[in-house]
Amino acid sequence: MAAIAFDTLQFARRLMAAGVPEKQAETQAELMAEAFVYNLDSLATKDFIEASLDARFARQDAHIDVQLAEIRGSSRLIYWMLAVVIAGTVIPSLTSLFGN
29 exposure class (CB count in 10 Å sphere: 0-12, 13-18, 19+):
buried
Residues paired with 2 in a beta bridge:
38
pLDDT at 3: 47
Q: What is the pLDDT of residues 30-50, one digit of tens each?
A: 888 877 765 545 567 788 888
Q: What is the pLDDT of residues 56-88, one digit of tens each?
A: 999 999 999 999 999 998 899 899 999 999 999
Helix (H) and strand (E) counts in the chain: 3, 2
Q: Give the Cα separation of 15 and 25 in Å (integer).
A: 6
Query: What is the sign, positive or negative, of the torsion defined by CA atoms of 91, 93, 94, 100?
Result: positive
Whether the Cβ atoms of residue 47 and residue 55 lie closer than 8 Å to each other: no
Residue 44 or 16, more confident: 16
Q: Give the Cα separation of 12 and 22 in Å (integer).
A: 8
